[in-house]
Amino acid sequence: MSIDDYYYDQGYDEWLDSLYRDFAKEVLAGNYDLYDEVISRFTSDRLQSYYVANPKIAERALWALDKAKGFLRSDADAALVFAVTAAEVGLKSCLLKPILHGLVHDEAMAVVITELMPEQRNDKFQNLLFKILKQYGGFDLRTYKRSGVNITLWEEMQEIQKLRNSVVHRAEIINLDDAKKAAIIASLVVEELFPSVIAKLGLGTNDRMEVSIKRR
């Protein structure tokens, strides 16, 4: 690591810490004991209203997933990159951003915090998001595992991100099995977990994952 890289990393860590302090000060009055209270006050109406107002929220994630599936036939590296992109966008934009939008009134702040996921390092903040997702989405990212897999989906996400980084930053060649695994994970996030959350909120999705209000 060069000296410039070292100071960049140090500066990023300081900025990250500052961001979370600001979040705690603005939303939780600097008192982390209020996390449980925030969760108890969070209502499904907040999620519902956000999804209804943004029916095409999964559009970009689904686009990246379609690209990944297409590249599986010809280019494993490209397939993996697009699959990881789809998984990240699906997780951040479709599942976590709506929660953050309900926690902060400034949407720009919600976007900034969401972009730090899943790389963010504040365990309390992460647990807050995951608890709300579990309560209103029906699954816990801290413990959720794919059938037949020994590690959590969250850990699998970190693994495929490392593979993506090795392709993008070091031009390493990955095998087709890795690309297929990444596509499966992305498909799970975008085509299964996302619509399951929508359904639990009493809403619906069509074949392009567009959110709609169910007719009674």
- From first to last of its 216 residues, the chain has per-residue pLDDT tens of 444 444 344 454 555 455 555 555 555 544 545 556 666 666 778 788 889 999 999 999 999 999 999 999 999 999 999 999 999 999 988 998 888 777 665 565 556 555 555 554 556 677 778 888 888 888 888 899 999 999 999 999 999 999 999 999 999 989 999 999 999 999 999 999 999 999 998 999 999 999 998 765
pTM, 2 dp: 0.76
Residue from 155, 158, 23 nearest 100 by CA: 23
Q: What is the pLDDT of residue 101?
A: 77
Separation CA 183–CA 70 (nearest Å): 10
Separation CA 79–CA 177 (nearest Å): 11
Separation CA 60–CA 87 (nearest Å): 11
- Residue 118 in contact with residue 154, Cβ under 8 Å? yes
Q: What is the pLDDT of residue 7?
A: 39
Q: For residue 1, what are the CA distances in angstroms to 7, 9, 10, 20, 47?
A: 10, 10, 12, 27, 43
